[in-house]
Amino acid sequence: MNKKRRLLLLKGLVWFLGLAPLAWLLWRGFTNRLGANPIEEVLHRLGDTTLIGLLVTLSITPVRRLTGWNSLAPLRRPVGLFAFFYLTMHFLWYGIVDQTLDFEFIVEDIVERPYILVGFAAWLLLIPLAVTSTKGWIRRLKKNWLRLHRLVYVSTSLGALHFYWQVKADTYWPIVAVTVLAILLLFRLRWRRA
């Protein structure tokens, strides 16, 4: 298999996996399988998908360096953009459907509830990254592009905190997310020193 075909195949896979959570939600929605509290269910599943997407984005480089599969590198952008897409949907769902655009309450939430503030900050931080994800911006920003895009670690950390902070007692999945993130950060720090 030549390089171009492999890349095409990998990108196709990314698109398939990236759209699958949305298709799954739509299917459950249209067949009335979202349970007794569908608004909350969709909100939470969009949030899960975002965090998984961000962690996958961050693991591409470590996996590439450990395995030598350099053809994985071009997948960072589409995977990251899918994560941003789900995060934006998560935020819009919260504002439009969950809070029915009651701005008084949305502002109160963002100002007074640390976990919502943290989630909101994670979204804001990712906007410049999504905007500058094109080839033109990579060229224009040169070295600063890499520096700017390290913000994805900050954003993902805030996302994990946002997840951890709203759980009542069962912290199992938030701890899994934080652990994965910590391992990815350790890789990054070790390589920087080396």
Number of residues that bind another protein (CB under 8 A): 20
Task: For another protein, give the closer residue by CB, 23 or 107.
Answer: 107
CB 187 within 8 A of CB 62: yes
Least gap, CB of 113 to another protein (angstroms): 6
- The Cα 132–Cα 68 span in angstroms is 27
Least gap, CB of 115 to another protein (angstroms): 6
145 binds another protein (CB under 8 A): no
Q: How many CB atoms lie within 10 A of CB 54?
A: 28
Which ranges constitute the DSSP H helices of the chain?
Answer: 3-30, 38-67, 76-92, 103-112, 114-131, 135-141, 143-149, 151-166, 172-193
Binds another protein (CB under 8 A): choice among 16, 29, 37, 65: 37
User: How far is residue 57 from each of residues 31, 45, 53, 68, measured CA to CA in Å?
Assistant: 32, 18, 6, 17
DSSP state of 101: T
Task: For another protein, give the closer residue by CB, 5 or 168.
Answer: 168
> Cα 123–72–80 angle (5° rounding)?
10
169 binds another protein (CB under 8 A): yes
Question: Between residue 81 and residue 100, which ones bind another protein under the rule CB under 8 A?
Answer: 99-100
121 binds another protein (CB under 8 A): no
- The closest of 41, 5, 4, 2 to 24, measured between CA atoms, is 41
69 binds another protein (CB under 8 A): no
177 binds another protein (CB under 8 A): no
Interface region with another protein, contact rule CB under 8 A, candidates 11-19, 109-117, 177-185, 186-194: 109-117
Point out which residues bind another protein (CB under 8 A): 35-37, 39-40, 99-100, 102, 105, 108-109, 112-115, 165-166, 168-170
